[in-house]
Structure 1
Amino acid sequence: MARVLIINADDLGYDPGITRGILHALREGAVSSATLLVNAPDSEHAARQARGLAIGLHLNLDRGPPVDPGFPSGWRTVDGSLAGARVGELPADVVEAEALAQLERLERLLGQAATHLDVHKHLHRHPQVLEGLSRVARRAGLPVRSIDAAMRGALRARGVATNTHFVGESGETAYWTQERFSAALAALPAEGVTEWMCHPGHLPEVVTTRYASQREVELATFLNARSREALARAAIQPTDYRVLTRA
Protein backbone atom coordinates (compact mmCIF):
# COMPACT_ATOMS: atom_id res chain seq x y z
CA MET A 1 0.00 0.00 0.00
CA ALA A 2 1.20 3.51 -0.78
CA ARG A 3 2.07 5.87 2.07
CA VAL A 4 -0.95 6.67 4.25
CA LEU A 5 -1.06 8.75 7.43
CA ILE A 6 -3.77 8.60 10.11
CA ILE A 7 -3.62 11.23 12.87
CA ASN A 8 -5.85 9.86 15.61
CA ALA A 9 -6.83 11.69 18.80
CA ASP A 10 -7.52 9.44 21.78
CA ASP A 11 -9.90 10.16 24.68
CA LEU A 12 -12.90 11.80 23.01
CA GLY A 13 -15.61 11.89 25.68
CA TYR A 14 -13.18 11.61 28.58
CA ASP A 15 -13.89 15.15 29.77
CA PRO A 16 -15.70 18.23 28.36
CA GLY A 17 -12.47 20.21 27.98
CA ILE A 18 -10.71 17.34 26.26
CA THR A 19 -13.70 16.78 23.97
CA ARG A 20 -13.79 20.43 22.87
CA GLY A 21 -10.12 20.37 22.00
CA ILE A 22 -10.34 17.16 20.00
CA LEU A 23 -13.34 18.39 18.01
CA HIS A 24 -11.52 21.64 17.28
CA ALA A 25 -8.48 19.71 16.04
CA LEU A 26 -10.69 17.47 13.88
CA ARG A 27 -12.64 20.31 12.30
CA GLU A 28 -9.96 22.95 11.91
CA GLY A 29 -6.63 21.23 12.41
CA ALA A 30 -4.57 18.34 11.08
CA VAL A 31 -6.22 15.59 13.14
CA SER A 32 -8.16 13.20 10.89
CA SER A 33 -9.63 10.60 13.27
CA ALA A 34 -10.55 10.13 16.93
CA THR A 35 -11.56 7.37 19.31
CA LEU A 36 -14.44 7.67 21.78
CA LEU A 37 -14.67 6.47 25.36
CA VAL A 38 -18.28 5.39 25.82
CA ASN A 39 -18.33 5.09 29.62
CA ALA A 40 -16.74 8.41 30.58
CA PRO A 41 -18.17 11.69 31.95
CA ASP A 42 -18.60 13.39 28.56
CA SER A 43 -19.37 10.38 26.35
CA GLU A 44 -22.93 11.22 25.32
CA HIS A 45 -22.28 14.91 24.66
CA ALA A 46 -19.09 14.09 22.74
CA ALA A 47 -20.88 11.56 20.55
CA ARG A 48 -23.62 14.03 19.64
CA GLN A 49 -21.02 16.62 18.66
CA ALA A 50 -18.91 14.13 16.68
CA ARG A 51 -21.59 12.71 14.39
CA GLY A 52 -20.41 12.59 10.81
CA LEU A 53 -16.71 12.58 11.77
CA ALA A 54 -14.34 9.59 11.60
CA ILE A 55 -14.71 8.05 15.06
CA GLY A 56 -13.58 4.69 16.40
CA LEU A 57 -13.94 3.02 19.80
CA HIS A 58 -11.40 3.70 22.55
CA LEU A 59 -12.07 0.49 24.49
CA ASN A 60 -11.88 1.24 28.20
CA LEU A 61 -11.10 -1.59 30.59
CA ASP A 62 -9.28 0.59 33.10
CA ARG A 63 -11.81 2.80 34.88
CA GLY A 64 -15.46 3.75 34.93
CA PRO A 65 -18.48 1.46 34.97
CA PRO A 66 -18.64 -1.54 32.62
CA VAL A 67 -21.17 -1.33 29.80
CA ASP A 68 -21.92 -5.06 29.64
CA PRO A 69 -24.63 -5.76 32.25
CA GLY A 70 -23.19 -9.23 32.68
CA PHE A 71 -19.69 -8.03 33.53
CA PRO A 72 -18.65 -10.28 36.45
CA SER A 73 -18.72 -8.55 39.83
CA GLY A 74 -15.55 -10.38 40.81
CA TRP A 75 -13.61 -8.44 38.22
CA ARG A 76 -14.78 -5.03 39.37
CA THR A 77 -12.90 -2.77 41.75
CA VAL A 78 -14.37 -1.91 45.15
CA ASP A 79 -16.27 1.09 43.73
CA GLY A 80 -17.89 -1.03 41.00
CA SER A 81 -15.55 0.18 38.25
CA LEU A 82 -13.80 -1.89 35.63
CA ALA A 83 -10.90 -4.22 36.29
CA GLY A 84 -8.19 -1.57 36.67
CA ALA A 85 -4.84 -3.09 37.64
CA ARG A 86 -6.21 -6.63 37.24
CA VAL A 87 -7.08 -6.15 33.57
CA GLY A 88 -4.29 -8.48 32.47
CA GLU A 89 -6.06 -11.33 34.24
CA LEU A 90 -9.43 -10.80 32.55
CA PRO A 91 -10.61 -13.86 30.61
CA ALA A 92 -10.89 -13.33 26.86
CA ASP A 93 -14.63 -14.07 27.01
CA VAL A 94 -15.18 -11.22 29.48
CA VAL A 95 -13.14 -8.84 27.32
CA GLU A 96 -15.09 -9.92 24.25
CA ALA A 97 -18.46 -9.27 25.88
CA GLU A 98 -17.44 -5.87 27.24
CA ALA A 99 -15.81 -4.81 23.95
CA LEU A 100 -18.95 -5.78 22.06
CA ALA A 101 -21.15 -3.88 24.54
CA GLN A 102 -18.96 -0.78 24.26
CA LEU A 103 -18.96 -0.97 20.46
CA GLU A 104 -22.75 -1.27 20.37
CA ARG A 105 -23.07 1.70 22.73
CA LEU A 106 -20.81 3.77 20.47
CA GLU A 107 -22.99 2.99 17.48
CA ARG A 108 -26.13 3.97 19.40
CA LEU A 109 -24.62 7.23 20.64
CA LEU A 110 -23.06 8.21 17.31
CA GLY A 111 -25.74 6.88 15.01
CA GLN A 112 -23.02 5.48 12.78
CA ALA A 113 -20.49 2.66 12.65
CA ALA A 114 -17.07 2.87 14.25
CA THR A 115 -14.08 3.27 11.95
CA HIS A 116 -11.79 1.07 14.05
CA LEU A 117 -10.86 -0.09 17.55
CA ASP A 118 -8.06 0.86 19.89
CA VAL A 119 -7.60 0.47 23.64
CA HIS A 120 -7.16 2.99 26.44
CA LYS A 121 -3.61 2.66 27.82
CA HIS A 122 -2.81 0.03 25.14
CA LEU A 123 -4.15 -2.71 27.41
CA HIS A 124 -4.37 -5.09 24.46
CA ARG A 125 -0.70 -5.73 25.20
CA HIS A 126 -2.15 -8.42 27.48
CA PRO A 127 -2.76 -11.61 25.46
CA GLN A 128 -6.29 -12.26 26.74
CA VAL A 129 -7.36 -8.67 26.08
CA LEU A 130 -5.95 -8.93 22.57
CA GLU A 131 -7.79 -12.19 21.99
CA GLY A 132 -11.16 -10.89 23.21
CA LEU A 133 -10.82 -7.67 21.25
CA SER A 134 -9.78 -9.53 18.11
CA ARG A 135 -12.93 -11.64 18.19
CA VAL A 136 -15.08 -8.51 18.19
CA ALA A 137 -12.96 -6.82 15.52
CA ARG A 138 -13.17 -9.85 13.25
CA ARG A 139 -16.93 -10.11 13.69
CA ALA A 140 -17.45 -6.39 13.02
CA GLY A 141 -14.89 -6.22 10.20
CA LEU A 142 -12.98 -3.43 11.93
CA PRO A 143 -9.23 -2.68 12.04
CA VAL A 144 -7.40 -2.53 15.36
CA ARG A 145 -4.48 -0.28 16.28
CA SER A 146 -1.16 -2.07 16.76
CA ILE A 147 1.67 -0.38 18.63
CA ASP A 148 4.57 -2.66 17.73
CA ALA A 149 5.60 -5.50 15.44
CA ALA A 150 4.61 -8.26 17.88
CA MET A 151 1.08 -6.90 18.28
CA ARG A 152 0.83 -6.33 14.54
CA GLY A 153 1.73 -9.95 13.86
CA ALA A 154 -0.69 -11.26 16.49
CA LEU A 155 -3.58 -9.25 15.05
CA ARG A 156 -2.86 -10.28 11.47
CA ALA A 157 -2.56 -13.92 12.54
CA ARG A 158 -6.12 -13.56 13.86
CA GLY A 159 -7.36 -12.12 10.58
CA VAL A 160 -7.61 -8.53 11.87
CA ALA A 161 -6.46 -5.60 9.75
CA THR A 162 -4.05 -3.19 11.41
CA ASN A 163 -1.68 -0.32 10.75
CA THR A 164 1.86 -0.87 9.51
CA HIS A 165 3.62 1.74 11.66
CA PHE A 166 2.81 3.58 14.90
CA VAL A 167 4.12 6.78 16.50
CA GLY A 168 2.96 8.41 19.72
CA GLU A 169 3.26 8.53 23.49
CA SER A 170 2.06 10.44 26.54
CA GLY A 171 4.39 11.20 29.41
CA GLU A 172 5.63 13.96 31.67
CA THR A 173 6.01 16.39 28.80
CA ALA A 174 3.86 17.01 25.73
CA TYR A 175 4.68 14.56 22.96
CA TRP A 176 3.46 16.34 19.85
CA THR A 177 5.41 19.56 19.82
CA GLN A 178 5.93 21.43 16.56
CA GLU A 179 9.48 20.07 16.44
CA ARG A 180 8.39 16.47 16.84
CA PHE A 181 5.66 16.93 14.24
CA SER A 182 8.25 18.11 11.71
CA ALA A 183 10.66 15.31 12.58
CA ALA A 184 7.98 12.61 12.35
CA LEU A 185 6.79 13.94 9.01
CA ALA A 186 10.35 13.88 7.65
CA ALA A 187 10.71 10.28 8.85
CA LEU A 188 7.33 9.07 7.59
CA PRO A 189 7.78 5.67 5.93
CA ALA A 190 7.43 5.59 2.16
CA GLU A 191 4.90 2.75 2.27
CA GLY A 192 2.17 1.45 4.53
CA VAL A 193 -0.37 2.88 6.95
CA THR A 194 1.15 4.95 9.75
CA GLU A 195 -0.85 6.07 12.77
CA TRP A 196 0.22 9.08 14.79
CA MET A 197 -1.55 8.74 18.14
CA CYS A 198 -2.14 12.10 19.78
CA HIS A 199 -3.88 13.63 22.79
CA PRO A 200 -4.96 17.18 21.97
CA GLY A 201 -7.42 18.95 24.24
CA HIS A 202 -8.14 21.79 26.58
CA LEU A 203 -7.48 21.44 30.30
CA PRO A 204 -9.71 18.75 31.86
CA GLU A 205 -12.70 20.13 33.77
CA VAL A 206 -13.99 16.97 35.50
CA VAL A 207 -11.44 14.16 35.46
CA THR A 208 -8.01 14.05 37.01
CA THR A 209 -5.29 12.94 34.61
CA ARG A 210 -1.53 13.27 34.57
CA TYR A 211 -1.70 14.29 30.91
CA ALA A 212 -3.44 17.66 31.29
CA SER A 213 -1.58 20.83 30.26
CA GLN A 214 0.34 18.69 27.76
CA ARG A 215 -2.90 18.35 25.80
CA GLU A 216 -2.99 22.07 25.14
CA VAL A 217 0.53 21.91 23.67
CA GLU A 218 -0.57 19.11 21.33
CA LEU A 219 -3.72 21.00 20.38
CA ALA A 220 -1.65 24.03 19.41
CA THR A 221 0.61 21.84 17.28
CA PHE A 222 -2.23 20.29 15.30
CA LEU A 223 -4.03 23.61 14.87
CA ASN A 224 -0.89 25.41 13.75
CA ALA A 225 -1.03 26.50 10.11
CA ARG A 226 2.59 25.36 9.74
CA SER A 227 1.54 21.77 10.41
CA ARG A 228 -1.12 21.80 7.72
CA GLU A 229 1.24 23.54 5.30
CA ALA A 230 3.94 20.93 5.93
CA LEU A 231 1.49 18.13 5.18
CA ALA A 232 0.40 19.87 1.98
CA ARG A 233 4.02 20.32 0.85
CA ALA A 234 4.57 16.59 1.41
CA ALA A 235 1.39 15.86 -0.58
CA ILE A 236 -0.11 14.01 2.40
CA GLN A 237 -3.80 14.21 3.24
CA PRO A 238 -4.34 12.50 6.61
CA THR A 239 -7.20 10.02 6.62
CA ASP A 240 -8.77 7.42 8.94
CA TYR A 241 -8.80 3.66 9.44
CA ARG A 242 -11.50 3.07 6.85
CA VAL A 243 -8.64 3.11 4.35
CA LEU A 244 -7.91 -0.44 5.55
CA THR A 245 -11.46 -1.69 5.14
CA ARG A 246 -11.68 -0.20 1.65
CA ALA A 247 -8.40 -1.77 0.54
Structure 2
Amino acid sequence: MGPLHTVNRRLIVNADDYGRTPSVSRGICDAHLNGLVTTTTVMINLPGALEDVRRGMDCAPTLAFGVHLNLTFGKPLTPPDRVPTLIDASGVFHGKDLIFSNPEMLDLAEVKIECKAQIERFLQTEMELDHLDSHHHLVLANIGIWNLLTELAVEYDCGVRTPFPNDFREEDLLELYPANMIDFSRTQAKVQLEKFAIPHPDYFYASFFGKYAVLDHLIKLLEELPNGVSEMMCHPGYSDETLEQTSGYNRIREQELAALTDQSALSAIASENIELHTYRTGCGK
Protein backbone atom coordinates (compact mmCIF):
# COMPACT_ATOMS: atom_id res chain seq x y z
CA MET A 1 0.00 0.00 0.00
CA GLY A 2 2.72 2.50 0.97
CA PRO A 3 4.26 3.18 -2.49
CA LEU A 4 0.83 4.04 -3.95
CA HIS A 5 0.54 7.05 -1.65
CA THR A 6 3.18 9.48 -2.84
CA VAL A 7 1.27 12.64 -1.91
CA ASN A 8 1.32 13.92 1.65
CA ARG A 9 -0.92 11.95 4.02
CA ARG A 10 -1.29 13.76 7.31
CA LEU A 11 -3.14 12.27 10.26
CA ILE A 12 -4.36 13.89 13.46
CA VAL A 13 -5.29 11.28 16.07
CA ASN A 14 -7.44 13.04 18.66
CA ALA A 15 -8.36 11.46 21.98
CA ASP A 16 -11.68 12.87 23.19
CA ASP A 17 -12.67 13.16 26.87
CA TYR A 18 -9.43 14.20 28.58
CA GLY A 19 -10.37 15.09 32.16
CA ARG A 20 -13.33 12.68 32.23
CA THR A 21 -11.54 10.98 35.13
CA PRO A 22 -7.86 10.99 36.14
CA SER A 23 -7.57 7.42 34.81
CA VAL A 24 -8.90 8.46 31.41
CA SER A 25 -6.44 11.36 31.30
CA ARG A 26 -3.56 9.07 32.26
CA GLY A 27 -4.51 6.62 29.53
CA ILE A 28 -4.61 9.39 26.94
CA CYS A 29 -1.12 10.50 27.95
CA ASP A 30 0.09 6.91 27.57
CA ALA A 31 -1.61 6.68 24.15
CA HIS A 32 0.44 9.70 23.12
CA LEU A 33 3.74 8.67 24.67
CA ASN A 34 3.57 5.08 23.42
CA GLY A 35 1.18 5.21 20.48
CA LEU A 36 -0.58 7.20 17.78
CA VAL A 37 -2.42 9.93 19.69
CA THR A 38 -1.23 13.43 18.78
CA THR A 39 -3.91 15.66 20.28
CA THR A 40 -6.60 15.54 22.92
CA THR A 41 -9.63 17.62 23.84
CA VAL A 42 -10.43 18.23 27.48
CA MET A 43 -13.76 18.29 29.32
CA ILE A 44 -12.53 21.26 31.28
CA ASN A 45 -15.76 21.83 33.23
CA LEU A 46 -15.36 18.59 35.19
CA PRO A 47 -13.84 18.51 38.69
CA GLY A 48 -10.10 18.01 38.56
CA ALA A 49 -9.82 18.48 34.79
CA LEU A 50 -7.67 21.59 35.02
CA GLU A 51 -5.24 19.78 37.32
CA ASP A 52 -5.22 16.83 34.89
CA VAL A 53 -4.20 19.17 32.08
CA ARG A 54 -1.35 20.54 34.15
CA ARG A 55 -0.18 17.00 34.94
CA GLY A 56 -0.40 16.18 31.25
CA MET A 57 1.79 19.15 30.41
CA ASP A 58 4.49 17.61 32.60
CA CYS A 59 4.22 13.94 31.65
CA ALA A 60 3.42 14.41 27.93
CA PRO A 61 4.79 17.82 26.91
CA THR A 62 4.38 17.19 23.16
CA LEU A 63 0.67 16.31 23.45
CA ALA A 64 -1.44 19.13 21.95
CA PHE A 65 -4.58 20.16 23.84
CA GLY A 66 -7.92 21.51 22.68
CA VAL A 67 -11.27 21.94 24.40
CA HIS A 68 -14.05 19.33 24.20
CA LEU A 69 -16.90 21.81 24.61
CA ASN A 70 -19.33 20.08 26.93
CA LEU A 71 -22.99 20.95 27.48
CA THR A 72 -24.29 17.43 28.17
CA PHE A 73 -22.40 16.07 31.20
CA GLY A 74 -21.65 17.54 34.61
CA LYS A 75 -22.21 21.12 35.70
CA PRO A 76 -21.48 24.40 33.92
CA LEU A 77 -18.62 26.65 34.93
CA THR A 78 -21.00 29.59 34.64
CA PRO A 79 -23.25 30.49 37.61
CA PRO A 80 -26.62 28.73 37.16
CA ASP A 81 -28.64 31.94 37.06
CA ARG A 82 -26.76 33.00 33.92
CA VAL A 83 -27.41 29.76 31.99
CA PRO A 84 -30.86 28.53 33.10
CA THR A 85 -31.75 26.87 29.78
CA LEU A 86 -28.63 24.70 29.87
CA ILE A 87 -29.38 22.94 33.16
CA ASP A 88 -32.06 20.96 34.94
CA ALA A 89 -33.51 21.58 38.39
CA SER A 90 -30.48 20.00 40.07
CA GLY A 91 -28.05 22.32 38.27
CA VAL A 92 -26.51 19.77 35.90
CA PHE A 93 -26.54 19.84 32.12
CA HIS A 94 -29.46 18.26 30.29
CA GLY A 95 -28.59 14.91 28.76
CA LYS A 96 -27.80 14.59 25.07
CA ASP A 97 -31.02 12.73 24.24
CA LEU A 98 -33.19 15.56 25.53
CA ILE A 99 -31.14 18.20 23.75
CA PHE A 100 -31.13 16.40 20.40
CA SER A 101 -34.88 15.86 20.64
CA ASN A 102 -35.44 19.56 21.37
CA PRO A 103 -32.33 21.59 20.43
CA GLU A 104 -34.21 24.88 20.49
CA MET A 105 -34.46 24.56 24.27
CA LEU A 106 -30.92 25.93 24.56
CA ASP A 107 -30.55 29.70 24.48
CA LEU A 108 -27.63 30.38 22.14
CA ALA A 109 -26.49 33.37 24.15
CA GLU A 110 -26.17 31.08 27.17
CA VAL A 111 -24.39 28.46 25.08
CA LYS A 112 -21.84 31.10 24.09
CA ILE A 113 -21.35 32.23 27.69
CA GLU A 114 -20.62 28.70 28.89
CA CYS A 115 -18.43 27.75 25.93
CA LYS A 116 -16.33 30.87 26.42
CA ALA A 117 -16.07 30.07 30.13
CA GLN A 118 -14.74 26.61 29.29
CA ILE A 119 -12.18 27.98 26.82
CA GLU A 120 -11.07 30.66 29.28
CA ARG A 121 -10.69 28.03 32.01
CA PHE A 122 -8.43 26.03 29.73
CA LEU A 123 -6.36 29.10 28.90
CA GLN A 124 -5.54 29.45 32.59
CA THR A 125 -2.95 26.74 31.89
CA GLU A 126 -1.19 29.16 29.48
CA MET A 127 -1.12 26.35 26.92
CA GLU A 128 -1.73 27.03 23.24
CA LEU A 129 -5.27 26.07 22.22
CA ASP A 130 -4.99 23.54 19.39
CA HIS A 131 -8.64 23.19 18.37
CA LEU A 132 -12.27 22.87 19.44
CA ASP A 133 -14.74 20.02 19.18
CA SER A 134 -17.85 19.09 21.15
CA HIS A 135 -18.90 16.32 23.52
CA HIS A 136 -21.55 14.04 22.01
CA HIS A 137 -21.12 15.96 18.71
CA LEU A 138 -23.44 18.64 20.04
CA VAL A 139 -22.63 20.89 17.07
CA LEU A 140 -24.93 18.59 15.09
CA ALA A 141 -27.92 19.56 17.25
CA ASN A 142 -28.62 22.72 15.28
CA ILE A 143 -26.97 25.22 12.96
CA GLY A 144 -26.90 27.92 15.61
CA ILE A 145 -24.53 25.89 17.79
CA TRP A 146 -22.30 25.15 14.80
CA ASN A 147 -22.19 28.85 13.87
CA LEU A 148 -21.23 29.66 17.44
CA LEU A 149 -18.40 27.13 17.33
CA THR A 150 -16.95 28.74 14.22
CA GLU A 151 -17.21 32.20 15.80
CA LEU A 152 -15.25 30.98 18.80
CA ALA A 153 -12.60 29.40 16.57
CA VAL A 154 -12.07 32.72 14.83
CA GLU A 155 -11.98 34.60 18.13
CA TYR A 156 -9.48 32.20 19.72
CA ASP A 157 -7.48 31.52 16.54
CA CYS A 158 -7.73 27.74 16.61
CA GLY A 159 -8.95 24.81 14.54
CA VAL A 160 -12.32 23.04 14.46
CA ARG A 161 -13.22 19.40 13.85
CA THR A 162 -14.97 18.79 10.53
CA PRO A 163 -18.45 17.59 11.59
CA PHE A 164 -19.28 15.05 8.87
CA PRO A 165 -17.66 11.63 9.45
CA ASN A 166 -16.41 10.18 6.19
CA ASP A 167 -16.59 6.60 7.41
CA PHE A 168 -20.33 6.55 8.18
CA ARG A 169 -23.19 6.09 5.76
CA GLU A 170 -25.58 9.02 5.71
CA GLU A 171 -28.55 6.77 6.45
CA ASP A 172 -26.84 5.55 9.62
CA LEU A 173 -26.24 9.12 10.77
CA LEU A 174 -29.92 9.91 10.28
CA GLU A 175 -30.66 7.57 13.17
CA LEU A 176 -28.59 9.81 15.45
CA TYR A 177 -28.84 13.40 14.23
CA PRO A 178 -31.39 15.76 12.62
CA ALA A 179 -31.65 15.34 8.85
CA ASN A 180 -31.09 19.03 8.14
CA MET A 181 -27.87 18.98 10.16
CA ILE A 182 -26.56 15.89 8.39
CA ASP A 183 -27.08 17.63 5.05
CA PHE A 184 -25.53 20.86 6.37
CA SER A 185 -22.48 19.11 7.81
CA ARG A 186 -21.96 17.20 4.56
CA THR A 187 -22.29 20.18 2.21
CA GLN A 188 -21.98 23.56 3.92
CA ALA A 189 -19.95 23.20 7.10
CA LYS A 190 -16.59 22.86 5.36
CA VAL A 191 -17.44 25.77 3.06
CA GLN A 192 -17.99 27.89 6.15
CA LEU A 193 -14.69 26.76 7.69
CA GLU A 194 -12.86 27.68 4.50
CA LYS A 195 -14.64 31.04 4.21
CA PHE A 196 -13.36 32.09 7.64
CA ALA A 197 -9.95 30.41 7.17
CA ILE A 198 -10.50 28.14 10.18
CA PRO A 199 -7.98 25.27 10.29
CA HIS A 200 -9.75 21.95 9.78
CA PRO A 201 -8.99 18.50 8.40
CA ASP A 202 -10.10 17.43 4.94
CA TYR A 203 -11.56 14.22 6.36
CA PHE A 204 -12.93 13.05 9.70
CA TYR A 205 -13.04 9.40 10.79
CA ALA A 206 -15.22 8.41 13.74
CA SER A 207 -15.70 4.66 13.34
CA PHE A 208 -12.88 3.56 15.68
CA PHE A 209 -15.43 3.21 18.46
CA GLY A 210 -17.39 0.51 20.25
CA LYS A 211 -17.24 -2.84 18.49
CA TYR A 212 -14.97 -1.33 15.81
CA ALA A 213 -12.38 -0.12 18.34
CA VAL A 214 -10.07 -3.00 17.49
CA LEU A 215 -6.62 -3.26 15.97
CA ASP A 216 -7.76 -4.72 12.63
CA HIS A 217 -10.15 -1.84 12.00
CA LEU A 218 -7.53 0.70 13.05
CA ILE A 219 -5.00 -0.70 10.59
CA LYS A 220 -7.66 -0.78 7.85
CA LEU A 221 -8.33 2.93 8.43
CA LEU A 222 -4.62 3.66 8.20
CA GLU A 223 -4.15 1.64 5.02
CA GLU A 224 -7.09 3.36 3.32
CA LEU A 225 -6.28 6.88 4.50
CA PRO A 226 -6.58 9.35 1.60
CA ASN A 227 -4.10 12.02 0.66
CA GLY A 228 -4.59 15.27 2.55
CA VAL A 229 -5.27 15.95 6.22
CA SER A 230 -7.43 13.50 8.17
CA GLU A 231 -8.55 13.38 11.78
CA MET A 232 -9.33 10.11 13.53
CA MET A 233 -11.33 10.31 16.74
CA CYS A 234 -10.62 7.90 19.58
CA HIS A 235 -11.41 7.45 23.27
CA PRO A 236 -8.51 5.66 25.00
CA GLY A 237 -8.09 5.54 28.75
CA TYR A 238 -8.02 3.38 31.83
CA SER A 239 -11.28 2.48 33.49
CA ASP A 240 -11.97 3.19 37.14
CA GLU A 241 -14.87 3.04 39.56
CA THR A 242 -16.06 6.56 38.81
CA LEU A 243 -16.10 5.94 35.07
CA GLU A 244 -17.93 2.65 35.43
CA GLN A 245 -20.58 4.33 37.56
CA THR A 246 -21.16 7.26 35.20
CA SER A 247 -20.45 6.01 31.67
CA GLY A 248 -21.28 2.99 29.58
CA TYR A 249 -18.03 3.54 27.70
CA ASN A 250 -15.56 2.38 30.33
CA ARG A 251 -13.45 -0.77 30.01
CA ILE A 252 -13.50 -0.57 26.23
CA ARG A 253 -11.27 2.50 26.54
CA GLU A 254 -8.51 0.14 27.61
CA GLN A 255 -9.13 -1.88 24.45
CA GLU A 256 -8.72 1.31 22.41
CA LEU A 257 -5.51 2.12 24.27
CA ALA A 258 -4.10 -1.33 23.51
CA ALA A 259 -4.81 -0.96 19.78
CA LEU A 260 -3.44 2.58 19.57
CA THR A 261 -0.16 1.53 21.19
CA ASP A 262 0.21 -1.79 19.37
CA GLN A 263 3.43 -2.18 17.40
CA SER A 264 1.41 -3.20 14.33
CA ALA A 265 -0.34 0.17 14.31
CA LEU A 266 2.94 2.02 14.76
CA SER A 267 4.47 -0.01 11.93
CA ALA A 268 1.50 0.79 9.68
CA ILE A 269 2.12 4.51 10.16
CA ALA A 270 5.67 4.03 8.88
CA SER A 271 4.88 1.62 6.05
CA GLU A 272 1.99 3.76 4.80
CA ASN A 273 4.13 6.93 4.82
CA ILE A 274 1.68 8.71 7.12
CA GLU A 275 2.78 11.82 8.99
CA LEU A 276 1.31 12.33 12.46
CA HIS A 277 0.25 15.90 13.21
CA THR A 278 -1.67 18.26 15.46
CA TYR A 279 -4.20 20.76 14.11
CA ARG A 280 -1.60 23.51 14.18
CA THR A 281 1.10 21.54 12.40
CA GLY A 282 -1.21 19.66 10.05
CA CYS A 283 -3.84 22.23 9.12
CA GLY A 284 -1.70 25.31 8.69
CA LYS A 285 -2.04 27.24 11.95
Residue 76 of structure 1 and its aligned partner are, at CA, apart by: 1.2
- Counterpart-to-counterpart distance in 2, 1:86 and 1:132: 16
Cα deviations by residue, 1:126-182 (Å, 9 ceiling, x for unpaired): 2121122211111111111013133333433455332110111476x3433110111
**Alignment size in residue pairs:** 244
Cα deviations by residue, 1:22-46 (Å, 9 ceiling, x for unpaired): 1110111111111111012440231
- Counterpart-to-counterpart distance in 2, 1:195 and 1:159: 18
Contact 1:54 1:115 in 2 (8 A): yes
Residue 103 of structure 1 and its aligned partner are, at CA, apart by: 0.6
Contact 2:208 2:218 in 1 (8 A): no
- Structure 1 residues 60 and 140, CA gap change in structure 2 (3 angstroms): same
- Counterpart-to-counterpart distance in 2, 1:216 and 1:17: 10
Moved more, 53-62 or 85-94: 85-94
Contact 2:71 2:86 in 1 (8 A): no
Aligned-residue Cα RMSD (Å) equals: 2.1
- Counterpart-to-counterpart distance in 2, 1:216 and 1:136: 33
> Greater Rg, structure 1 or structure 2?
2
Task: List runs of 5+ in structure 2 lacking aligned partners.
Answer: 1-6, 165-185
1:66 partnered with 2:76: yes
Contact 1:6 1:33 in 2 (8 A): yes
Alignment of 1:93-104 (within 5 A): 93-104=109-120
Scaled by the length of structure 1, what TM-score is found? 0.90
Q: Which amino acid is 2:46 matched to?
A: A
Q: Which amino acid is 1:160 matched to?
A: I
Match of 2:132 among 117, 123, 142: 117
- Counterpart-to-counterpart distance in 2, 1:112 and 1:179: 35
Moved more, 214-223 or 202-211: 202-211
1:164 partnered with 2:198: no
Task: Name the % identity.
Answer: 31
Moved more, 27-36 or 144-153: 144-153
Scaled by the length of structure 2, what TM-score is found? 0.79
- Counterpart-to-counterpart distance in 1, 2:239 and 2:47: 15
Match of 1:9 among 12, 15, 24: 15
- Counterpart-to-counterpart distance in 2, 1:156 and 1:205: 43
- Counterpart-to-counterpart distance in 2, 1:237 and 1:38: 29
- Counterpart-to-counterpart distance in 2, 1:41 and 1:170: 27
Contact 1:93 1:132 in 2 (8 A): no
Match of 1:146 among 162, 175, 182: 162
Q: Which residue of 1 aligns with 2:222?
A: 185
